Amino acid sequence: MIVKAFNEVLKVVQNKKTDNRTAVYIYAISQVAEAMKARGIWP
């Protein structure tokens, strides 16, 4: 699970050309948004 998250963050770093900290925030927010969509909470 941690290795998968690291690899996903690394993809964000490479795609968005950003630092690791910002990439982690981008990844985390996208995961929360995905969970909200799946539960039908998204406006």
Chain-centre distance for alpha carbon 25: 7
At residue 42, the pLDDT reads 67
Q: How far apart are CA 23 and CA 13, in angstroms?
A: 6
Closest CA to 26 of 6, 9, 14: 9
User: Domain extents for the chain?
Assistant: 2-39
Check residue 17 and report its DSSP letter.
Answer: T
Check residue 21 and report its DSSP letter.
Answer: H
Query: What does pTM read for this prediction?
Result: 0.81
Q: Each residue of 1-43: pLDDT tens digit?
A: 899 999 999 999 999 999 999 999 999 999 999 999 999 886 6
Report the length, in residues, of the chain.
43
Q: How far apart are CA 3 and CA 39, in angstroms?
A: 26
